[in-house]
Amino acid sequence: MASPPSYITIRKLGEGTSGIVYKCRPKSGGANVAIKVIPRLQLGRSHKQEKVVQEIAILKRLRHQNIVRFVDLEWDTQNVFIVMELCELGNLKEFLAHKHGRRLVERDARWFLRQIAAGLFFLWSHSLVHRDLKTENLLLTANPNLHGPPILKIADFGIADYGQGRNQDFTSAALKEKIGTLAYMAPEVLKDEEYDARCDLWSVGVIFYEMLAGSTPFHTASSIDDLLKQILSPTPSQLILPPTIARTTSQPAQSLVSALLTRDPDKRLTFDEFFDHPYLDLTHIPGPESLSSGMEYISEAVELDSRFVRSKNPSGRKDLNVWKQIIDLYAEGVSHLLAHVHYLGSQNPDAVQVAELVTRYIDRAENLKHQVETWQNPSGMAGERRSSSGDQDRLSEPPLSGLVGPSRVTVARTSASLPPFSVKAGPTSSSLARTDFLPSSSAPSSANARVQAALDVLNTAQKLAATNPSRALQLYDTGLAQLLRAIAMTCSPVEREKIRSEACEWFDQAERLGQAVKRQQEDKGWQVVGGGIVRKGGMIDIVYNMPGEYPS
C-alpha cells in the first residue's frame, strides 16, 4: 500500500466497511497505530465522501475506554488515512476462535458484555447507532495491569449513524439502509422499510449468545436463503440458549439473552432496561477508578461507624437509619473493590490484598446487619444471634479504622492471604446486596454524584467559551454525556425530569456556541461538515485549536 506521509506500514490487519486497515509505525517514533486507508477514487461519489467525513467526525467526537480512539487524519494524492489507536490483541472473533469450542466461560463472557454495554451506552448518549455490531468489530487490547483481563473497544464506524435526536427518542428516528453482517442483523432490518436503534440490541444479543454457545443462533443455515428464512421466521418469538449450554449458564444470563433476542422490537428489552440490568451492573464495571471509588465509600462508612460506636448511645437503638446507611456504604464500597480485584486480575498480588480487605468489610457489615435485625426484632430469630458476652447491644470497633484513605490502601499484607476471588464479584451475588429493610433514601446515589460531576465539567465549559471555544465544546460533550447517564440511573420520575430540564438548558448553550464557531469558520472560507471536520474546496482538516487557526 502507499504509506501515509508520517508513517511506515508494518502489515495488513483487516478490512472495514469503508477501507483496509494496516498496522503502522510513526516515522518520528512512538506507539504503533492502526490506519484505515480509503482510496480517494471512492470519494468521487458524494455519498461515499459524506460517509468518510461522518466516520471521522464520529471517531473524533468519541472519548471512552471502550471505544477505539481517533489519533489523526492524513492524506496524499491517492488516499485518505484515518489514524486510530492499535488494539494489539486482534478482535473478538479471533479471540473466540482460539478458545475450546469457540466459547467462553460465563464469567469472561459477562466481562466482555459489560464492556460492550458501557461503550454502547456512550454511543447511545451521543445519539449514535452503530448498525454493524459483530465480533469482528469488537477489538481487544491488553489491560494496563499485567494480569488483568483484556479491554474491549467498539470499532468501525463506517456505517454508524445518528439514530435519534437529543430527546433520546430512538423509535422516532428510522434508519432505512439495510447494512451490517447478516448473521447479526435484527429481523426488522430485513423485513421492514424502516427500523430504529433497537437493532443494535439484537446484535448485542447475538454476540452474547455466540460467546456463551460458541456459535451464532442461526449457524445451522445451509445457505443465505435459509439464513434469511430462519431470521425472518415469526417463531419462536424469543430465542434461547441451546439446552446443553443453558445447563451451565446462570438464569440471569439466559433471561438476558432471550430479552435481547426478541424478534418484535416493540417487545424487546429497551435501552433503559438493558443499561440498568443488574446482570450488567454498569455502575461497578471494573476500571482504573474502581479502587478510589470503593475506598471513598469505605472511608465514609468507617468514619460513621467509628463515630457512632464511640457515641453516648453505643447500642444504636435510636440510630437505626444511620446504621442502615453505614451498611449500605460498606456494600457499595465492597462492590467497587470487587470490581477492582477483577480489573487487576486474579494473579496480581495487589488483588489478594484488596480481597483481604473486602472480607473484613463484609464481616463488619454482616455483623452490623445482624445487630440491626436484633434491635428491630429482639424477640425473633435475630435475637438468637446476640452475643453471649452479656453486653449484647454494644458494638466493637470497625475494622481498619483510620487505615483507609479515599484513593489507596495502606493496610499491611497479612501472612495468611486469601485466595483471589474468594468472594463472588457483583452486588447481586454478594451477601451484601442491599438489605430489604433499607429505605432507598439512605442509599448513596451514584446518579447524584454523576450529576454533580457533570455540572462541574459544564461550568468549566461555560467559563472557557469566550477564550477557548473549541475546548469548551469538547467539555460540553463530556458533561452532557454524564447528565444523560444520570437520567438513565435515576429511578424517580420527578428527579429524571429535573435533570432532563437541566440538560436541555446546557444543550442550548452548547448549540449556541457551536453555531458561533461555525459562523466564524465559514467566514474564513472553511465549510463546517461536523464533529470538528472542516473543508475548503478539495481540502479537508480537523480543528483541534481555537477557531480561526486553520490551514492556509
Domain ranges across the chain: 7-85, 92-277, 283-444, 447-542
**pLDDT above 60 (res 408):** no
One fold for 7-85 and 92-277: no
Helices then strands, each counted (H, E), the chain: 15, 10
Question: Binning pLDDT at 50, 70 and 90, where does residue 409 land?
Answer: very low
The contacts of residue 44 (CB under 8 Å, 6+ apart) are none
For 78-102, what is each residue's pLDDT tens digit? 888 888 999 999 999 999 999 999 9
Question: Binning pLDDT at 50, 70 and 90, where does residue 42 land?
Answer: low
230-238: Cβ within 8 A, 24+ apart: 231/182, 231/185, 231/187, 231/190, 232/187, 232/190, 232/191, 234/263, 237/262, 237/263, 237/264, 237/267, 238/262, 238/263
| pLDDT on residue 97 | 95
**pLDDT above 80 (res 11):** yes
Question: Binning pLDDT at 50, 70 and 90, where does residue 43 land?
Answer: low
Q: Which pTM was predicted? A: 0.61
Cell (9 digits) for 214: 460458541
For 160-206, what is each residue's pLDDT tens digit? 454 443 334 444 444 444 444 789 999 998 886 677 888 899 999 99
Mutual orientation of helices 106-125 and 199-213 as an angle, nearest 10°?
170
**pLDDT above 50 (res 423):** no
| pLDDT on residue 92 | 96
Q: What region, left, alpha or beta, does residue 270 occupy, with left being phi > 0 and alpha being psi -120 to 50 degrees?
A: beta
What is the architecture of the domain spanning 92-277? Orthogonal Bundle (1.10)
The span from the CA of 38 to the CA of 252, in Å, is 43
Please tell me which residue in 132, 305, 328, 477 is annotated as part of the active site. 132
Of 223, 255, 219, 227, nearest to 239 (Cα)?
255
Looking at every residue in the chain, the average pLDDT score rounds to 75
The span from the CA of 473 to the CA of 132, in Å, is 28
Helix (H) or strand (E) holding 513: helix 493-523
Give the residue carrying C-alpha cell 456459535: 215
Tell me the mean pLDDT in the region 330-350: 83
Tell me the mean pLDDT in the region 490-514: 79
Q: What region, left, alpha or beta, does residue 308 occupy, with left being phi > 0 and alpha being psi -120 to 50 degrees?
A: alpha
For the 447-542 domain, the top CATH level (class) is mainly alpha
Tell me the mean pLDDT in the region 205-220: 96
For 279-313, what is each residue's pLDDT tens digit? 998 888 888 888 888 888 899 999 888 887 776 55
| pLDDT on residue 525 | 65
| pLDDT on residue 470 | 77
The span from the CA of 427 to the CA of 424, in Å, is 9
Residue 196 annotated among the catalytic residues of the structure: no
For 438-460, what is each residue's pLDDT tens digit? 223 333 345 566 677 778 778 88
Share of the chain above pLDDT 70, in %: 69
Superfamily of segment(s) 7-85 = Phosphorylase Kinase; domain 1 (3.30.200.20)
